[in-house]
């Protein structure tokens, strides 16, 4: 039984060399990928509202090379869910890396895309009959052009992938990779506890009068958690 923290799905697409644009699908709905994930329509709605093309935030969903947050290659001009999946259109910047990517699109060396996201534990269910994870909502960060993705039904008329922005995000990914080796029910409980600790850590500090004789909780040590999870 497998758990999937961050998913990479692959799709093809179309290119306009002169306009430096690509389009296609970053994710495919109702399709079981090689990681056992099935993303359903609506899974990206919240992320698109908060960080999509038309959002007001400066931290929009990024268009990257190989899931590397230090290597943006352009920007998404369209990100929408349709009946097939997460459709995108993007413009490549006029920079050396993006120029190389454009050449590799044309040659066919690069033709897959992947999304980078954090899954939402209480929006993910496990189908024991098919050993699949039904993903109803994700926290989408980026889409990338990649050499190889997890979903063959994501050819590029466009692009897709994922990358974490900080050490804390990287630690979350390492934790998920460890959790995928333990039973789903146990992993789910651990994720809930981790999410609570993260929420408390990110919350606004408040002054609380300690209760006499009550032990003070020890801060969560992420590395100790990971080191105690047995990986088969």
What Rg, from alpha-carbon coordinates, does the chain have? Answer: 19
Separation of alpha carbons 156 and 14, rounded Å: 6
Kindly name the residue from 89, 137, 142, 162 that is annotated as catalytic. 142
Among the options 10, 47, 114, 161, which is catalytic? 114
Burial group, residue 134, by CB count within 10 angstroms (0-12, 13-18, 19+): middle
Answer yes or no: are the C-beta atoms of 123 and 47 closer than 8 Å.
no
Which among 10, 47, 67, 144 is annotated as catalytic? Answer: 67
| Cα atoms in the Cβ-side hemisphere of radius 13 Å centred on 178 | 17
67 is annotated as an active-site residue: yes
Residue 113 catalytic?
A: no
Whether residue 165 lies in the annotated active site:
no
- Collapse the DSSP code of 146 into the 3-class scheme (helix H, G, I; strand E, B; otherwise coil) and give the result: strand
Among 29, 2, 54, smallest CA distance to 138 is for 29
Whether residue 65 contacts residue 143, with contact meaning beta carbons closer than 8 Å, is answered with no
Q: Are 116 and 44 in contact (CB under 8 A)?
A: no
Catalytic residues, by residue number, are 67, 114, 142
């Amino acid at each position: 039984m497998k758990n999937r923290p961050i998913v990479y799905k692959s799709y093809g697409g179309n290119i306009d060399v002169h306009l430096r644009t690509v389009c296609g699908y970053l994710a495919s709905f109702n399709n079981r990928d090689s990681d056992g994930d099935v993303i359903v329509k609506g899974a990206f709605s919240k992320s698109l509202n908060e960080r999509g093309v038309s959002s007001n935030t400066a931290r929009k969903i990024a268009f990257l090379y190989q899931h590397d947050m230090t290597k943006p290659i352009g920007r998404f001009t369209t990100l929408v869910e349709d009946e097939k999946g997460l459709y995108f259109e993007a413009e490549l910047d006029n920079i050396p890396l993006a120029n190389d990517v454009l050449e590799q699109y044309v040659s066919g060396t690069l033709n897959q895309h992947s999304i980078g996201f954090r899954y939402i534990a209480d929006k993910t269910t496990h189908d024991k009959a098919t050993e699949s994870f039904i993903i109803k909502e994700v926290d989408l960060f980026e889409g990338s052009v990649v050499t190889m993705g997890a979903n063959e039904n994501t050819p590029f008329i466009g692009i897709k992938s994922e990358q974490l922005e900080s050490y804390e995000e990287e630690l979350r990914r390492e934790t998920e990779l460890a959790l995928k080796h333990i039973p789903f029910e146990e992993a789910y409980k651990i994720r809930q506890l981790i999410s609570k600790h993260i929420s408390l850590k990110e919350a606004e500090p408040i002054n609380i009068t300690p209760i006499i004789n009550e032990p003070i909780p020890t801060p969560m040590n992420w590395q100790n958690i990971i080191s105690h999870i047995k990986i088969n």
